[in-house]
Every structure is written in C-alpha cells, then in structure tokens.
Amino acid sequence: MKKIFNTILSLLMFIAGGIVAVCVLTLFLWGRVRIDHAWIYALTFGDVGMSLKCVFALWVAVGAILFAVLGKYSKKIALVIPLVAIGLFAYTFKVVECWWNAGEVSTLYEKEYKTFLSMEQAPKRNLVVLFLESMENEYRNYNADGGNLLPELSEIADNNHYFDDFYQLEYSNATISAQVAGLCGLVYKTELEEYSLSALLNNTLPNAVCISDVLANAGYNSYFLKGASLDFALTEKFMAQHSFKELQGLHELSNYKKGSDWGIRDSDLYTVAKQKIKWLAAQKKPFLAVVTTLDMLYPNEYLDAQCLKRFGDRRDIVQCADFMAGEFVHWLQEQDFSENTTIVLLGDHIFVGKNNIYPDKKERQIFNAIINPVKDLSAKKHKWTTLDMAPTILEAIGIKAPEFGLGRSLWQNEPTLFEKYGNSLDLEFMKNSDFYKKLNQTSEVNKKYEQLPLGVTLKGNQIKPYTSLLIETKDNAFDAVWSDGLNFAVGNENGLCLKAKFLLIKNRSDEKIEVLLNNKKFTEWTFVKEENAPFERELCLRKADIPTSGKIALTFVRKMASANPFAYALGWQNISTRIWTNNK
C-alpha cells in the first residue's frame, strides 16, 4: 500500500513539476496569457521553430523530474506542490478571470456590431496592408544614444496620415487576433463552453464579414503572405474562410531559407511580395494584398545580414525592420499602379511584455500610417483600438463605412467603443455571447451544398468542397480531410448510396458514431475494438429520405464513454457514390 501511495505521489509531483515549468517559462517569455488563446497556440505548437520547442521540452522535462525526485524525499512538500502548481497555472493563464466572466452574458455585439457585404458602387482602388511585427511607435521617440530608431517610417508617418492615442485590447495582443481585429473589426476568442475539436480547430467566424469578404464581393483579387507557417494559430483556416484566394507562408515558400526559428527572412518576404503584387496589378483587376513581417517576432528575433550592427542588441533589429519597410513602401510608390493604390502600415501589437529598449515605459502604441487614401479625408482625434482600423481602412479606399464590425472610422466624429466603454471593454469581451457564438457557427444559410457527382470516387482533398467544419492537415500520410460532416446536393428522383472509407481516432473499446441526416438521427455505426482503420461503411438513402430541395447534410457524432476533444473528427479518404433505384 505504501509503495502505491509513493508511486501516486511521485506521479503527481512529476505532473506538477511539468505544469510549474510551463507556467514559469510562459511568464518569463510572454507574461500572463488568456487560457483560450494559449490553447489555440498549444494546438498549433508543432508549427513553431525547433529551438523554441526544444527549450520548452527540455525545461518541462527537467522541471518534472526535479519535482518528482523532490517529492520522493519530502512528503510534506509533495502534498503542497500540486496545489501550488494549480494556483500558478490559474494565475498564468487567467483561468479565474476567463471562467468567471464567461459565466456572465454580454449584449455588446447586439448593440454595437455593424456590417455589410454589398455596395452601391464598388471601388477600383488597390489596397496593400502591411502588418509589422511588434512595431511600436515609441521607437520614433527613443532618446538614448541613437535617437530615432525609425527614420524611414517616421518620415512616412509625418508626410501621410498617422493616428495617435492607441489602446491595445487584451483580445488583440497577438498577430492573428490583431489581424482579425484590423480586418474584421472583431475580437478573436474561443468560447470556453464550446470545448470540442470542431470548435477549437475551426474558429474562423464564418458568419462574420471582413474587409476581404467585402472586397471579394466587389470583384477584387486577394492575396495573403506571411513568413511563418500558415498553420500556426489557425491563420490559413481563418484567412481562407474570409475570401483570400491565395495564401503563402513558410511551407509554400520552402525554396527560401529560414531566417529566425519562425520562418523565412523579411528580406525574402518583401521580394516575394513585390513579385506577387506586380502580378496582381497585371491582372487589370483591383487587388487586396496583406503582408505580415516576422523578423521582430520575440523570442526568436532575427537581424538580416544586409543590416549593420550598430548597437549590438535588439535596436539593430528594429532599425533593420524600419529600413526594409521603408524600402518596400518606396518601391510601391514607384510602380505605375501606385496612384490608384492605398497603403496601410500597422504594427500588429505592442511588444509582448516589457520592452527592454525602454523597460520603464508603460504607455506604448503601435506604429501606423495610411498612405494615399481617397481625397477629402482627415484624421479625427480619437482614443482607438485595432478594431477601429477595419472601417478606417475601408473608408481610405472609398467605401463609406463609418461603422464596421465593432470598429468606428477614425476619419469620422462618431466615438469609438473604447471612448464609450473605456477599460471595461476588455471585461465585456471576456463574457459569454450568443451573438459571437452565432458568428462562429455554420448556419443553414451559410452552408455550401456542392452538387455530388454520382458514380465517381472522390479521394483526399477532392472531398474538401463537401465537408463541414474542415480540419485539414498538411502532408497527411493518409491523404485524408478531417471533418465531422458532409454536405451534398443531389436530385431526389432516385435513392442514393454513399460508400465511404475513413479514419477514426480509435479508442481501445467498442464505440459508436451517430449519423444525423439534416439534423435528425438517421442511423448508427458500431465499431468494435478489434476492427482496424481505415474503416469502410455504406450509407443508403431512399427517395423518401431525400428532401425536395435535394440538399443533404450528414453529421457524424462520435459517442464515447469519456469526454474527448477529438470526439468529432473523421478523416475521409475517399467516397464513392451510386444511384440507388430501389425506392421502397
């Protein structure tokens, strides 16, 4: 009995040590982090650089082993440490604040959310948005040796449009959340009550409208470029959901060498951006190009070889980023399409944690500038957040949008939400919201029912147009598309049979999958533990089962004895279809 007790205690100490190690390293590198945000990053952690993964793995392993050994020789400490680990975890990832506020209900979206998709007259103005990693405006006012660290960007801001009095929301303090705020006028969060693989890995707000959706509807070509992996933080899923037709990141640019541990060098990124923008301009259609830099991403910042080492610290990287961004803007202004192109420069967020260039400065702002907007616009004095960039950008290219999402145009006099709600705005976003959940749900109106080709076999990515809540993985060894449902459009003059081959994250016990047809239970599949993947099942629908509209929504709900975040995932390898003429 004593051996069992000691074994359990050592295991608890091992787990507690790992938790403490994760918390300490997180606090050291980034400070306190929201648990929903950390969870999304943890799920896509495989796409960060190897050195950061090794640091985490080594640190956690050492912490876990040390605590396990400590618990073996000190029982009193062993009984306290797990409680300390739980408390530290709750503090580091703001568990109490998130769960406490999630119990309350916000009506902010119902009151303040505004959007549109169609316009009376579509603009013909090109738009280039450059998100500058961790670019703070305070670098312009650096007063120690060296003075202004942003000579190029300072000149751009002084000669164009710059907006002062920025406030960073907690829900826009990372690259993806800042881009969602700046392009959609929305915060980016995961409703903690929606804990499932589908909700966590398909957090793309399909029912929201973003700048990219508005411009795509107006006939624009769209392009998104990022030096890091598009899989990290679900960037590709979100941007593809919102009308970006072409996306390039680390994997798509594999012919370029990595600079930092995160991805390719900004110097190469700008080279790719120039080539692609020239190609877009040659198509004789208005275009949207969004470019995201990387070299200043902490903690694996990168100083390009073309830049001088003047200070021997992070200031060199800032000056290098300034030089390359300035050169890119000047290149854009020299192109024959520049007169009809608006350029937006936007720091995605302030530097995470204390900025060691001016560690005592608390009030910090992102750099921003809008170059060559439509005529007769003048910046108004506002206290603003990244949310307000969405309508401001739209109006800069000639689309009347004093309100868009939760943003308010900085060209207009209407108060921003931060001016109306102040610091309580962040607390409001922590609350539960039925409206926000609906933005992230695949509704009947939003579903795409693709015409199903009868008598053919769909394989791998060919299945993608027919899936709902897509969970696609790159380089999948099984060539599978992961989803919890299929949407088809077929004629209803005959019955239909689907023969599917798919994968399943298998438990070591018998289990079942409930098949829903248009949200009603149709049948149930049973899997015994002896059965090995890939699994094959046939599903036949009679004529009477198919609605007159011919639209079929199949949903697959996995029934398991215990809660499992992978409960809804099916990996479809191929689907073959045939007409079934037995209509009894």
Residue 428's pLDDT is 92
Min mean pLDDT across 52-61, 405-414, 443-452, 465-474 is at: 465-474
Higher pLDDT, residue 395 or 555: 395
In this prediction, residues 473-491 reach a mean pLDDT of 68
In this prediction, residues 436-462 reach a mean pLDDT of 73
Residue 395's pLDDT is 96
Q: Give the phi and the psi of residue 352 in degrees, each rounded to 5.
A: -70, 125
Buried/exposed code over 404-437 (b: 16+ C-beta within 10 A; e: otherwise): bbbbbbbbbeeebbbbeeeeebbebbbbebeebe
Q: Is the pLDDT of residue 43 over 90?
A: no
Q: What DSSP string runs through 253-307?
A: TTTSPBSSSSBB-HHHHHHHHHHHHHHHHHTTS-EEEEEE--TT-TTS----TTS
| Amino acid letter, 200 | L
How many residues belong to the chain? 584
| 272-328 pLDDT per residue, tens | 999 999 999 999 899 999 999 999 998 889 999 999 898 999 999 999 999 999 999
Which stretches of 496-583 are DSSP H helices? none
Tokens representing residue 300 in the block: 């694996």
Q: Which of 263, 288, 151, 286 is nearest to 210 (CA)?
A: 288
In this prediction, residues 127-152 reach a mean pLDDT of 89
Distances (CA, A) of 33 to 94, 363, 508: 7, 19, 35
The residues near 269 (Cβ < 8 Å, ≥ 6 apart) are: 225, 227, 291, 293, 294
Pair 297, 134: CB distance under 8 Å: yes
Pair 136, 355: CB distance under 8 Å: yes
- Which span out of 236-240, 346-350, 434-438 was modeled with the highest average pLDDT? 346-350
The residues near 519 (Cβ < 8 Å, ≥ 6 apart) are: 553, 555
To the question of pTM greater than 0.75 for the whole model, the response is yes
Pair 144, 315: CB distance under 8 Å: no
Min mean pLDDT across 8-22, 274-288, 349-363, 479-493 is at: 479-493
Tokens representing residue 295 in the block: 């070299």
Calculate what percentage of the chain has a pLDDT beyond 90: 43
- Which span out of 331-340, 466-475, 509-518, 562-571 was modeled with the highest average pLDDT? 331-340
Tokens representing residue 524 in the block: 């149930």
Pair 332, 128: CB distance under 8 Å: yes
| 381-413 pLDDT per residue, tens | 999 999 999 999 999 999 999 999 999 999 999
Higher pLDDT, residue 576 or 163: 163
Q: What's the mean per-residue pLDDT of the chain?
A: 85
Q: Is the pLDDT of residue 583 over 60?
A: no
Confidence of residue 200 (pLDDT cuts 50, 70, 90): low
Distances (CA, A) of 220 to 195, 280, 284: 36, 10, 10
Q: Which residues pair with 502 in a beta bridge?
A: 535, 572
Residue 9's pLDDT is 72
Q: Is the pLDDT of residue 76 over 80?
A: no
Min mean pLDDT across 134-138, 238-242, 324-328, 552-556 is at: 552-556
Min mean pLDDT across 183-197, 416-430, 531-545 is at: 183-197
